[in-house]
Amino acid sequence: MDARLDWSNEALFALAEDVLPGAGLGGYALPEDLRFVFAEGRGARLRDVEGRDYIDYVGGAGALILGHSHPAVVAAVRDQAARGLHMFGTLNAPAIRLAARLVEDIPCAEKIVYATTGSEATAYALRLARAFTGRDLVLKFEGAYHGNHDYALTSTFPTALGNDPHGQDDTAGRPAGTRTTMLVAPYNDAEAVARIVRDRGRELAAIIVEPVQRIIPARPAFLQALRRICDENGLLLIFDEVVTGFRLAYGGAQVHYGVTPDLASFGKVVGAGGPLSCVAGRAEVLDLCDPRRKGEPDYVYLNGTLHGNPVAAAATLALLDELAQPGTYERLNAFAERACAECQGVLDRHGLPAIAENTGSLWQILFTTKRPETQADILAGDGAAARRLDAECMKRGIYALPGVRRFFSTAHGEAELEDSLRILDAACAAVA
Ligand SMILES: Cc1ncc(COP(=O)(O)O)c(C=O)c1O
């Protein structure tokens, strides 16, 4: 039988092995006994091609804060798709309306520029910062993820710490120049940042930071110190809000923390799961990419086929309407707190040295007894044990990538929590 006509998990996987490296779509390879292919998503659940259900905590890598196929988002997508999937080269109405909405809702946004992915948005933010300051170097933090481009892939997955400001390569194939233009510092350590800026400040264009680095929340004083250090040394402060934007709070982490960066990258929730992201920020920086400035020495080239995609813009407008309803974040975050407390109860009953950690709706089970405040705390935990437990959960119907931070959505409710606790209990028994 032609494998392309056979929709069993096994046949699809065999086909994927032939045509996709590692039979995957990116950076994750699941264990051999966890092979399934998703067919559909509804609310907080996913179903594979053989009809098995999973409670979804991956949420499209955090994009799906309302869960899968929210009716308001689906209606907006249908409506816009019927009028045209894409228009390139000039304006479309949803893109303008969304830009106006984001400028209203994001504290740092005097203007926005569109991109397609979170990675592209962070790459654009770095380019803009370099052009604005006339400096080349950028400081990032050990353990921070800013996407898949050559600049970002510095010390994202550090195996050892303490060699700052020199980072580690995360990938083969980076040109040496991208390695030497990225400096690194320990997260949540304002003194280390001040030391590096004292030594190299005149070469630095920007500091880029995740306001919640994976699962580690920034100490408020840390972000305030970054703001001060940037101001005193002529650096731009860039928040990577690809995850935290409209997730930690409506408007982003900058609303939650009350610290306003110069530039911020948004994606995932902004995009509603579609091909749309953006850089928000100070007009005098973003105006460097005004195409009427072509030919000027500090003109910044930003362009992409899908920039301002009207379907994704319409979907995001519908999603923001839902998120702006009073009480949305209070309810979502309270649910996450309670769910993690109940998961903690299960872990404790089994005597596992693990914590169910959350910051708002971001959460993860870590094999450590201390809430992580630094990347060193993360490295000190037992990552292999966490991955084992997550894999046992996945076998039983929880979709959360082993060892990776995960998300609650507004679609998670009592039924999902009850099922999750039952599955976690069985998974704990399996690993204990
Ligand atoms: C903080 C952060 N920045 C940037 C990115 C890259 O976004 P994308 O995968 O859309 O390119 C991600 C993706 O997970 C992210 O978590």
pLDDT tens profile 270-282? 999 999 999 999 9
Domain with CATH 3.40.640.10 in the chain: 71-323
**What is the bridge-based pairing of β-strands 212-213 and 263-266?**
unpaired
From 215, 241, 268, 269, the mutation candidate for ligand 1 (largest count of ligand atoms within 8 A of CB) is 268
Confidence band, pLDDT 50/70/90 cuts, at residue 63: very high
Q: Is 241 in the pocket of ligand 1 (CB under 6 A)?
A: no
CA of 251 to the centre of ligand 1 (A): 17
Residue 398 DSSP code: E
**Dist CA 426 CA 133 (whole Å):** 55
**Dist CA 324 CA 342 (whole Å):** 28
For 127-143, write each residue's pLDDT tens digit: 999 999 999 999 999 99
Question: What is the DSSP track for 114-166?
Answer: EESSHHHHHHHHHHHHHHHHT--EEEEETT----SSTTT-BSSS-SS---TTB
CA of 407 to the centre of ligand 1 (A): 14
Residue with CA closest to ligand 1 atom 5: 147
pLDDT at 95 over 80: yes
Q: Indicate the CATH number for domain 31-62+326-431.
A: 3.90.1150.10
Q: Is 43 in the pocket of ligand 1 (CB under 6 A)?
A: no
For 195-239, write each residue's pLDDT tens digit: 999 999 999 999 999 999 999 999 999 999 999 999 999 999 999
pLDDT the model gives residue 86: 96
CB 87 within 8 A of CB 233: no
Q: Is 147 in the pocket of ligand 1 (CB under 6 A)?
A: yes
- Residues 6+ away with beta carbon under 8 Å from 230: 206, 207, 236, 237, 262
Residue with CA closest to ligand 1 atom 7: 118
From 119, 254, 269, the mutation candidate for ligand 1 (largest count of ligand atoms within 8 A of CB) is 119
pLDDT at 169 over 70: yes
What fold, for 71-323?
Answer: Aspartate Aminotransferase; domain 2 (3.40.640)
DSSP-based three-state secondary structure for 85: coil
CB 167 within 8 A of CB 154: yes
Question: Which residues partner with 365 through β-bridges?
Answer: 356
Order of strands across the sheet that contains 204-209:
111-115, 277-281, 263-266, 236-240, 204-209, 137-141, 182-185
- Dihedral sign of CA atoms 390, 395, 396, 399 in order: positive
Q: Which atom of ligand 1 is nearest to the CA of 122?
A: 4
**Across residues 240-265, what is the average pLDDT?**
98
% the chain with pLDDT above 70: 99
Q: Is 145 in the pocket of ligand 1 (CB under 6 A)?
A: yes
For 151-160, write each residue's pLDDT tens digit: 999 999 998 8
pLDDT the model gives residue 1: 46
Domain with CATH 3.90.1150.10 in the chain: 31-62+326-431
Q: Is 243 in the pocket of ligand 1 (CB under 6 A)?
A: yes
What values do phi and psi take at 236, rounded to 5? -90, 140
Residue with CA closest to ligand 1 atom 12: 147
Question: Which residues partner with 183 through β-bridges?
Answer: 139, 166
pLDDT at 4 over 60: no
R_g of the chain, CA atoms, integer Å: 22
Q: Is 61 in the pocket of ligand 1 (CB under 6 A)?
A: yes
pLDDT the model gives residue 432: 85
